[in-house]
Amino acid sequence: MATAYGTEPATRSHRLPPALRAPFEGRTWREFGYLMLSLPLSVVFFSLAVSFASAGVGLVVTFLGIPVLAGTLAMCRGFGTLERARARALLGLDVAEPASALPRKGGPMAWIGAMLKSGVSWRHLLYALIHMPWAVFAFSVALPFWLYGWGFATYPLWHWVFPVYLGVDGLQLYGDGTHNVYLDSPFELAVTCAFGLVLVLATPWIVRGLATVDRLLVTGLLGPSRLEGRVVELESDRGVVVDTAAADLRRIERDLHDGAQARLVALAMDLGLAKEKLHSDPQAAARMVDEAHGEVKTALQELRDLARGIHPAVLTDRGLDAALSSVASRCTVPVRVEVDLPARPVPAIEGIAYFTVSELLQNISKHARASQASVEVWRTRERLMLQVRDDGQGGVDTSAGSGLAGLAERLGAVDGLLVVDSPPGGPTVVTAELPWRDRTPRA
């Protein structure tokens, strides 16, 4: 199965269907344990939160309520730490810890102000208040299903524990003589056991449904806010962009120093020698000038290639279709290019799309051993889609440090995505996805 940066490992197959495995899976028992623990813990959290919050609100008029409220919020953040650890251990839910509300500088008043202004802290208080009624409901539903299911399913094994006495008609009766249960025949035992098995098979899915609500509560109220998560993501993307720009500048500097600059220095020396020999040996000077003319052409071509690598003029003037066709013509294998765009995206996205396809085609030329390739570009909703396919040997390396991993980081910096499907033996299909933003029309 294709995934970003590579392929997922094959999952282990089971002979039993999921419905029959569920009652015995560790996940079911862990989630059931989570629901059972939720009731006592939520009662404690609810009682403490209501008590201290009420005291804080009641004491606000005396100005003592403000630090009490701040302390209540800090206590609720401690509850959240415990709940996140419990969800991580029993639900397999890894929720990041939200940003601390403690200020870097300032005394107790700064801490109180920061705590009261923290939306995360108030969400923790809300969790302590609303989780208790939900925990009561989940406990009341999960436990009876669990007990009755396993109790009825195993009833033939333990029904003998009921007291037995002889009734007036000589029948064996189970019970206390007042409310008698006649479940001693093989048919009745089989029906009871079958009903219990139905409950046993249904209970895991009920437990998982209840645990899903707990996952949503923990994620929505005890985790970082969407804005906070987005800020962290943008900070990471900014670092990737800065590193990429620095790497590009170093590459341009290296290409200029090792290529065009070295040729121009040699050209200046050759022209200097030709100038000295102009009067003493005009023919030698003419040959040197002719050689210098060839060096000028080579240097100009290198500068054009370098400028094309920075931002090709054909991309600016004619768009992706012409630019990608130009790149495809330089590939070592035949490449079919198909671009179906209703308009041109903004230059930044257009440039990233161009360099993405250019790097993928370079990889095909160097490593794929393909006989043909294709490039398709289209727009779907608010996304720009790129797909590069080749019939080469496959088995593309997508590990950290490879070229594709670096390309994926560049796309991720602009909310893009790179998906690689390259089984050994081929074919290789690389799909890139970029956000679509329309160009602002010129005035």
What type of residue sits at position 364? Answer: I
pLDDT at 171 over 80: no
Hey, what domains does the chain have and what are their CATH numbers?
A: 18-222 (no CATH), 231-310 (1.20.5), 313-435 (3.30.565.10)
The CA distances from residue 58 to 64, 65, 66, 128, 299, in Å, are 9, 7, 10, 19, 82
Among 29-43, 255-269, 369-383, the least confident range: 255-269
pLDDT tens string 341-382: 888 888 878 888 888 888 888 888 888 788 888 999 998 888
Cα distance between residue 117 and residue 106, in whole Å: 15
The reported pTM is: 0.55
pLDDT tens profile 37-65: 999 999 999 999 999 999 988 888 787 88
Residue that the structure tokens 């670092």 belong to = 239
Counting Cα atoms < 13 Å in the Cβ hemisphere of 223 gives 17
Residue by residue, DSSP assigns 412-440 as: HTTT-EEEEE--TT--EEEEEEEE--BPP
What band does 173 get if pLDDT is binned at 50, 70 and 90?
Answer: very low
